[in-house]
Amino acid sequence: MPIDLCANIVVLNDIKSLGFGEKMQSSSKFVWKLCSVFVLFALTCGSISSKGQSAGPSNSQTFRVGLKSIVIPPPSAERSETGSDYRVLFEILAPNTNRLVAAFLLPEELKATVSGTSSLSRYSLVQVPRRAEFANVTPDVYKQIADSMAGQFGATFDGTLKDQMDELNRRLKSVNSDAPTVTMDKPLMLGKLFSKPDACSFGMIMPISANGKTKKMAAAISILRIQERVVFFYTYTEYTNEDSFKWARTTAEQWADAVLKANL
């Protein structure tokens, strides 16, 4: 689950047209930040609980991105958006450079999370990069972003693994001093899952360990261009067999298609 995701959208040296105004990070560091997406809820979800509240997902499907109102259907019938009252519980899962737009959970897992008693098995997040939230992204710039991401998902990450684990554990401890130390193994990068004019997606599987337990998490990480805005869509599931990743890939593509259609 994201705690330090996407310090920037691409590794282009400088995209002033997106309003970033600073140099992009290296490919390997960027993708290791992306890898830390899996960790927080997979093993330590109770650290962001808010006891005493009763969860109630929202049926609203319209969300603000910059000055735009975008429609985001649920990624699947069984998951609902948390609603603004409970979405704040998940804001720490986005890095300071991103803003959480929406979080989709299984209703029973949202209730358990609010009470601090459960981790999540399947969930989806939507985030927008703060520096690009008000920037118009042309089709040509979007293609540059997609091409850069494709290159990043073929990179090597040995040099930044320890730094990212250290940063991840600092963030966990800042939220809950009793949070267990988390370790991550190298992710299996699965490359591009699909590519369309305004949507592309990439996959990975990553083992993570804490409290003597190890899980594999699978993710489909999608980048969509919606109403001239770049928005990130993340689909996560615990990996148990090949069908787990097939579910993530299929769900991510169907979700992207539904979002783009809803915003025509």
Query: Could you report the per-residue pLDDT of 109-132, keeping only the tens digit for each?
Result: 888 877 776 667 889 999 999 988
3-state secondary structure of 70: strand
Instruction: Report pTM.
Output: 0.78
What band does 167 get if pLDDT is binned at 50, 70 and 90? Answer: low
CA distance 201 to 150: 9
**Distance set, CA 40 to CA 1, 106, 119, 243 (Å):** 5, 17, 9, 23
| Mean pLDDT of the 244-262 span | 95
Both tokens of 86, joined, read 């409970």
Contacts of residue 222, Cβ cutoff 8 Å, sequence gap at least 6: 199, 200, 201, 202, 232, 233, 234, 235, 252, 255, 256
Please, what sign has the CA dihedral across residues 23, 27, 28, 30? positive
Above 60 in pLDDT, residue 59? no
| Domain locations along the chain | 16-262
